[in-house]
Amino acid sequence: MLETSFRQRAIGWLQAGPMVIIFVGFFLIPLLFVIVVSFWDYNDYEMLPVFSGRGYTDTFESCLDQLPQFCTILRTYGSTLKFCLIVWSLTLVIGFTVAYFLAFHVRSRTWQIGLSLLCTIPFWTSNVIRMIAWIPLLGRNGLVNNALVGLKIVDRPLEWLLFSEFSVVLAFVHLFTFFMVVPIFNSMIRIDKALIEAAYDSGASGFQTLVNVVIPLSKPGIVIGSIFVITIVMGDFITIGVMGGQQIASAGKIIQTRLDAIQFPAAAANAVILLAATMMIIAAMTRLVDIRKEL
């Protein structure tokens, strides 16, 4: 009996072993290096392996002096959080709607799989190409502006369609909605259809069934999709740079700027701050829904 239990535990560790090695080698050890480097000193030319909090103090330099106004770094993090909240809301609404249609209105499993694969077509090209594809559409002389002017809806081309916060949000939603669709769809197809029929038989309306049955049972997928979208948007600087015309600041852009200036400890400190902010958001979400219990 004891030998059997030991063998089962050994098999379990062997099965988890590759994942543990990958997790430690590609996440924990690099993260440890980033945290250590964030507490090193630096000058204009090199890192100095001496304990220092300069990376953090330089990041928030003059913030106290500017109170009650927000300093540049806090406004940048606030702007990143604003983009994160807007993109999360839009991708959640669109992703939930698409997943609901696939799970409950497409009866054939073959069609469900086929339409799900259809959603992956944009991912056959790189993110940069998909972002650049918006420029001929949204530019001053793009198809959208030409159509609006041609139909006399506007007198002159709209300047805010491209290289603006609007184009950044549009690109984010275009790029990352799929990360919301898949987890929610995976949760919805596990819902026992008998529960929905029972709700209708009990006199519940479609909206009541959605709110009291579908959404609660889809919470694991909603939380997982939200984690995907939030973590990507919080650290993204390429999309904001391309679609914002290099005129919109972001937390990821701060890190890139520090790296370009060879200020690696300061870049590491900003990475740790960004990671902490992202982890707090994820922790708040997982407190609402215990993913391990729901899965």
Q: What is the pLDDT of residue 84?
A: 93
Check residue 291 and give its pLDDT: 67
pLDDT at residue 202 in the model:
87
Give yes or no for a contact between 166 and 160, defined as CB atoms under 8 angstroms apart: yes
**Whole-number pLDDT of residue 247:** 83
Encode pLDDT of 238-274 as tens digits.
888 888 888 888 888 889 888 888 889 999 999 999 9
pLDDT at residue 96, rounded to an integer: 94
Cα–Cα distances in angstroms (integers) from residue 78 to residues 62, 75, 182, 269, in the given order: 17, 5, 29, 18
Structure confidence at residue 29 (pLDDT): 94
Q: What is the mean pLDDT of residues 138-155?
A: 88
CA 273 to chain CA mean position, Å? 17
Q: Would you state the pLDDT for residue 6?
A: 75
pLDDT of the residue at 74: 86
Residues 161-182 have a mean pLDDT of: 90
Q: What is the pLDDT of residue 294?
A: 55
The secondary element (H helix, E strand) that includes residue 47 is strand 47-51
Q: Give 190-238 pLDDT, tens digit per residue.
A: 888 888 888 888 888 888 998 999 999 998 899 999 999 999 999 888 8
| Token pair belonging to 112 | 């469900």
Residue 185 has pLDDT above 60, yes or no: yes
Which two tokens mark 192?
């026992």
HEC profile for 160-207? HHCCCHHHHHHHHHHHHCHHHHHHHHHHHCCCCHHHHHHHHHCCCCHH
- pLDDT for 226 equals 93
List Cβ neighbours of 47 (8 Å cut-off, separation of 6 or more). 37, 40, 41, 264, 265
Residue 293 has pLDDT above 70, yes or no: no
| pLDDT beyond 70 at 58 | yes
Question: How much is the pTM?
Answer: 0.85
Quickly state the pLDDT bin for 30 (edges 50, 70, 90): very high
Q: What is the rounded average pLDDT of the residues 58-79? A: 81
Q: Per DSSP, what are the bridge partners of residue 40?
A: 51
pLDDT digits (tens, 9 = 90+) for 79-107: 999 999 999 999 999 999 999 998 888 87
For residue 1, is pLDDT > 70?
Answer: no
Q: Tell me, what's the pLDDT at 160?
A: 87
The larger pLDDT score, comparing residue 290 to residue 225, is at: 225
| Exposure class string for 26-61: b at 16+ Cβ within 10 A, else e | eeeeeeeebeebbbbebeeeeeeeeeeebbbebbee
